[in-house]
């Protein structure tokens, strides 16, 4: 069975991830995206794979992505008068794994 992996990767890590995925023979589509809470620049990677490729692909993401501690802007916390900023742990990547029921490739009719 085929799966669709949708990986949200921080922009500081995405070039390393793309290089490693391509080196391993994966085809990937990159969509630039922005996080909702922190407003961080990300890339959303869309990757179609077969079941047996999932562990290797997840290992690449785990190896190439770095978690980081990010200071949350005070305005987001509603504490503009508070002098001490808060921080959150930002995962190296968030990956959604979705089974694919079928794949349809559309092309214009040949003339």
Q: Predicted confidence band at 34 (pLDDT cuts at 50, 70, 90)? A: confident
- Where in the sequence is the domain holding 53, given as residue range(s)? 2-67+93-99
Look at residues 71, 70, 61 and name the one whose alpha carbon lies nearest to residue 92: 61
Q: Considering its fold, how many domains does the chain have in total?
A: 1
In whole numbers, what is the pLDDT of the chain averaged over residues? Answer: 83
Tens of pLDDT along 39-65?
A: 668 899 999 999 999 999 999 999 999
pLDDT reported for residue 30: 96
Could you tell me where the beta strands, DSSP code E, fall in 25-92?
Answer: 29-34, 41-50, 68-72, 86-90
Whether 59 maps to a domain, the answer reads yes
Whether 33 maps to a domain, the answer reads yes
Q: Structure pTM?
A: 0.74
CATH number at residue 20: 3.30.70.120
Non-local (6+) Cβ contacts of 108 within 8 A are none
Give SS3 for 81: coil
pLDDT reported for residue 15: 95
pLDDT reported for residue 83: 52
């Amino acid at each position: 069975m085929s799966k669709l992996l949708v990986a949200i990767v921080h922009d500081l890590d995405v070039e390393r991830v793309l290089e490693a995925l391509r080196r391993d023979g994966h085809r990937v589509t990159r969509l630039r995206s922005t996080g909702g809470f922190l407003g961080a620049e990300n890339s959303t990677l869309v990757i179609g794979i077969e079941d047996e490729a999932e562990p290797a692909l997840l290992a690449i993401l785990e190896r190439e992505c770095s978690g980081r501690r990010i200071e949350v802007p005070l305005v987001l916390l509603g504490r503009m008068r508070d002098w001490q900023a808060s921080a959150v742990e930002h995962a190296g990547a968030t990956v959604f794994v979705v089974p694919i029921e079928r794949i349809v490739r559309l092309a214009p009719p040949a003339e």
